[in-house]
Structure 1
Amino acid sequence: MAKKTLDDLGDLKGKKVLVRVDFNVPLDKKTGAVKNDRRIRAALPTIKHLLDAGASVIAMSHLGRPEKATPEERANLTMDKVAAKFSELLGTPVKKAASEVVGAGVTAAVAAMKPGDVVLLENLRFDPREQKNDAEFAAAIASLADAYVNDAFGTCHNDKDASMVAVPAALKAAGKPRAVGLLVAKELEIIEGLMSAPKAPVLGIMGGAKVSDKIAFINVLLTKVDQLLIGGKMTYTFLKARGVDVGATRVGDEEVAAAGPLLKHVGTKIVLPVDYVVAKSDDLLQTQVCEGPIPAGFEGVDIGPKTIEAYKAAVKDAATVIWNGPLGWFEQAAFARGTQYIAEAMSASSGVTVVGGGETAEAAEQFGYADKMTHVSTGGGAFLAYVEGKKFQSLAQIDDRA
């Protein structure tokens, strides 16, 4: 059933709206500065919509893993610099509520808000109750607002986070409305369209490292796509599973076991690279292009030139392209060609092009093609889980449209 959206919240003049955003952005390890603001930019349409409607906004997000951080690392995980970047991009002042997530300081900051004001709560994970779906913690946050908006698709699959589940449940108990933001609404619309009635021919492109992490996703894709092109490190998993020597490329036995049941699709729906770039493990400047076994001491780092051309042609012929996972070690310029050229081919496509979040989204943006795709998901893990058909407790808390 369709979920309520911003337009279903009614008159918001003078109302305080609690918005769960995904500001879990990459930070500079030394300075704590925001290195990539894509996720903040993605939330701006919802925030601006609420402000234009006369509301004030209480934004909240987690940032990193403070529970596993050293004291020095934890100091960089406050929301101060995120608030500064958020303010810069929004074009209006954003105040960080207090140094604690909930408490007297937060209550006072929210009480002083006027229409058009924006407050950002401290890193939710600074309070251990956030990841325990704690009801008391959730009630304290819920009491701050008149309505709740989930605009954090990237964390929709985190069913134990209080901000995603227990907080909207507490607002429901208080008779307050709950809706999805513009970002989440678009994500759901795009993914549901892909799964229900994608325009044919449908092409899947799968990269990244682990087959085992994406086995359910791959199996779902195989029921939807006409072809599934393989790249990234999982290339060598499939090769090893087929008995091909992969040289010094590290492929775990569990990955080979995961790929085994998929081998029956190779040559029909699953397409493997015909060549690949390999580099000397102890000297990455020594590279060559291989077809077949990888020489001893070399490891696979990218798809090869013949494969790039074949994959580009497949993208050009497809009406729908779904891409998840880089096709090589794209962080290294010398091994980024496969990922870059496929992103370029997708950006030039006249079909529907969807990038499945995570590193794939980072790559598309790094090469300057993100804005030329039909949709770039903000949630890697959430994208995979939703396509797999998993039910999200976070979305179950949102009011259904009648």
Structure 2
Amino acid sequence: MDYQFKTMDDVDFESKTVLVRVDVNSPVDPLSGDLLDDTRMVLHSTTISELSDRGARVVIIAHQSRPGKSDFTTLKQHAEVLSNITGKEVQYVDSIFSSYVKNTIKNMVNGEIILLENVRFYSEEMSKLTPEEQADTQLVRSLAPLADYFVNDAFATAHRSQTSIIGFSKALPSIAGRVMELELNTLYQILDNAQEPRVYVLGGIKADDSIDVMANALKSNSADYILTTGLVANIFLQAKGIDIKEYNRNFIIERGYEDYIDIAKDLLKEYSDKIILPIDLAILEDDSRVEYMVDELPDLPIYDVGSKTISMYMEKILIAKTLFANGPAGVFEKEGFSKGTEDLLNTIGESDGFSIIGGGHLAAVASNMGLDDVITHISSGGGASINLISGKALPAVKALDESARKKDNF
């Protein structure tokens, strides 16, 4: 891959002010408001602690959820959790670029760490702006003059063109943090050595990401087989003319994916030999798992792929030389419906090929199953990894590359 980026090994951080973008977006208990998982904070603690230990003044920028969601909250708890993980005080500052923030940054001492407020509280973060416009936002114009370097460690959001991800790279020398460095080196190495057959297992409830990646992978001829599960499979079954019944059709519409049925139809017309659909499905019937062939479905919720489909998919997985999986096969949290997700993950673990698990729920399940040592790479970012694997340029990587090529930056 023709890309460049500087790492933390290339810079002396002593007495330097460093803006660090991390992704500590975490699940929140809807009743108590407490954070339910610290996985991402544990990951980024390596970068944060190293910068502090090397004498930097560390200013962390991060987000939690997005506007309109119930878990769209402040980062006060995140600062407390990061303090516990790093063993260093991480001071929470309840603003983003106010005069108080600016004065706080100016008065920091070497090794000190602060966490600014949820960057998505700032409207321009979620706006669709060009990189040049993002570099000219209030956020960048306010904070960049106070810093010496920008460290992007937020691989999980590397596929997003948002101000805090790419805006600072126009204004400051930009470096990959340890999480970003590991992800890029690992994924590009696997891509550069990808052997056929290349098998994708795409599911989950975020069907737009998976279908976009599927289209890109097929058009770039980087996939030999795509095994569909989850909501992705339901959309393709509907596109093929299979009657998945009213409940499941309505669910596709409610999730905002009705337009993807036409996209799926077009992909099936051109790549029907590569897109593999389920032949049976597991239905939630009387609070139990009941399996039906796809042409015999009752009007009840589809919760998993069926046993015959699992066996068919396992055969494809075991012959693969390069494997990529993103999204669970069904509602794995519900008793009786984790079979598809767990059986396919176990088979990926048994495969002799290179294997990559995207981030999110599937990564968590794989780790909980103890598969970390038998899967080549479990990524911290689902959307970022699937876009990168399918050959799509990541805005954050492009920004790091452009910064690395500027002779005056380093």
Say if 1:277 and 1:289, in contact at 8 Å, map to a contact too. Answer: yes
Deviation per CA, 1:256-306, whole angstroms, max 9, x where unpaired? Answer: 3222123347773222223221123xx4x1442112413332332111122
Say if 1:18 and 1:59, in contact at 8 Å, map to a contact too. Answer: yes
**Paired position in structure 2 for 1:246:** 244
Judged with a 3 Å threshold, the aligned counterparts in structure 2 of structure 1 residues 346 and 334 are, in CA distance, closer, same or farther, namely: same
Is residue 311 of structure 2 the alignment partner of residue 306 of structure 1? no
Say if 2:289 and 2:337, in contact at 8 Å, map to a contact too. Answer: no
1:57-76 matched pairs, under 5 angstroms = 57-65=58-66, 67-68=67-68
Q: Matched residue pairs, number? A: 386
Q: Distance in 1 between matches of 2:19 and 2:371?
A: 33
Q: Distance in 2 between matches of 1:265 and 1:364?
A: 33
Q: C-alpha displacement at 1:384, in angstroms? A: 3.6
Q: Distance in 1 between matches of 2:223 and 2:156?
A: 24
Q: Distance in 2 between matches of 1:342 and 1:207?
A: 12
| Structure 2 residue matching 1:102: 3-state secondary structure | coil
Say if 1:142 and 1:168, in contact at 8 Å, map to a contact too. Answer: no
Contiguous gaps of at least 5 residues in structure 2: 128-133
1:209-248 matched pairs, under 5 angstroms = 209=205, 213-222=209-218, 223-247=221-245, 248=247
Q: Distance in 2 between matches of 1:365 and 1:135?
A: 39
Say if 1:217 and 1:385, in contact at 8 Å, map to a contact too. Answer: yes
Q: Distance in 2 between matches of 1:298 and 1:78?
A: 39
Judged with a 3 Å threshold, the aligned counterparts in structure 2 of structure 1 residues 392 and 311 are, in CA distance, closer, same or farther, namely: closer
Q: TM-score, normalised by structure 2?
A: 0.84
Tell me which moved more, 299-308 or 189-198.
189-198
Q: C-alpha displacement at 1:213, in angstroms? A: 4.7
Is residue 287 of structure 2 the alignment partner of residue 279 of structure 1? no
**Paired position in structure 2 for 1:174:** none
| Structure 2 residue matching 1:86: 3-state secondary structure | helix
Say if 1:165 and 1:397, in contact at 8 Å, map to a contact too. Answer: yes
Deviation per CA, 1:311-349, whole angstroms, max 9, x where unpaired? Answer: 334333322210012111123232111112222222344
Say if 1:32 and 1:81, in contact at 8 Å, map to a contact too. Answer: no
Deviation per CA, 1:57-107, whole angstroms, max 9, x where unpaired? Answer: 211101122x4368xx76xx11111011111111222111x2211233323
Is residue 388 of structure 2 the alignment partner of residue 383 of structure 1? no
Judged with a 3 Å threshold, the aligned counterparts in structure 2 of structure 1 residues 163 and 341 are, in CA distance, closer, same or farther, namely: same
Tell me which moved more, 285-294 or 323-332.
285-294
Q: Distance in 2 between matches of 1:108 and 1:180?
A: 27
State, as a whole percentage, how many aligned pairs show the same letter.
32
**Paired position in structure 1 for 2:153:** 151
Say if 1:23 and 1:39, in contact at 8 Å, map to a contact too. Answer: yes
Q: C-alpha displacement at 1:393, in angstroms? A: 4.1
Deviation per CA, 1:145-188, whole angstroms, max 9, x where unpaired? Answer: 221101112222332x33222223222xxxxx211112222222
Judged with a 3 Å threshold, the aligned counterparts in structure 2 of structure 1 residues 126 and 13 are, in CA distance, closer, same or farther, namely: same
Say if 1:240 and 1:246, in contact at 8 Å, map to a contact too. Answer: yes
Q: Distance in 2 between matches of 1:194 and 1:25?
A: 28
Say if 2:190 and 2:354, in contact at 8 Å, map to a contact too. Answer: no
Tell me which moved more, 347-356 or 35-44.
347-356
**Paired position in structure 1 for 2:119:** 124
**Paired position in structure 2 for 1:138:** 140
| Structure 1 residue matching 2:19: 3-state secondary structure | strand
Say if 1:204 and 1:221, in contact at 8 Å, map to a contact too. Answer: no
Which amino acid is the alignment partner of residue 109 of structure 2?
K
**Paired position in structure 1 for 2:91:** 95
Judged with a 3 Å threshold, the aligned counterparts in structure 2 of structure 1 residues 94 and 269 are, in CA distance, closer, same or farther, namely: same
Which amino acid is the alignment partner of residue 193 of structure 2?
A
Q: 2:178 aligns with which of 177, 182, 188?
A: 182
Judged with a 3 Å threshold, the aligned counterparts in structure 2 of structure 1 residues 53 and 354 are, in CA distance, closer, same or farther, namely: same
Is residue 267 of structure 2 the alignment partner of residue 262 of structure 1? yes
| Structure 1 residue matching 2:63: 3-state secondary structure | coil
Judged with a 3 Å threshold, the aligned counterparts in structure 2 of structure 1 residues 47 and 350 are, in CA distance, closer, same or farther, namely: farther
Which amino acid is the alignment partner of residue 201 of structure 1?
P
Which amino acid is the alignment partner of residue 241 of structure 1?
A
Contiguous gaps of at least 5 residues in structure 1: 172-176
Deviation per CA, 1:17-44, whole angstroms, max 9, x where unpaired? Answer: 2111011212222333211212112212
RMSD of equivalent CA atoms: 2.7
Judged with a 3 Å threshold, the aligned counterparts in structure 2 of structure 1 residues 165 and 235 are, in CA distance, closer, same or farther, namely: closer
Which amino acid is the alignment partner of residue 296 of structure 2?
I
Is residue 206 of structure 2 the alignment partner of residue 198 of structure 1? no
Q: Distance in 2 between matches of 1:341 and 1:372?
A: 14
Q: Distance in 2 between matches of 1:12 and 1:36?
A: 30
Is residue 375 of structure 2 the alignment partner of residue 373 of structure 1? yes
Say if 1:94 and 1:119, in contact at 8 Å, map to a contact too. Answer: yes
Q: Distance in 2 between matches of 1:214 and 1:295?
A: 24
**Paired position in structure 1 for 2:170:** 169
1:22-41 matched pairs, under 5 angstroms = 22-41=23-42
Q: Distance in 2 between matches of 1:299 and 1:125?
A: 34
Say if 1:303 and 1:338, in contact at 8 Å, map to a contact too. Answer: yes
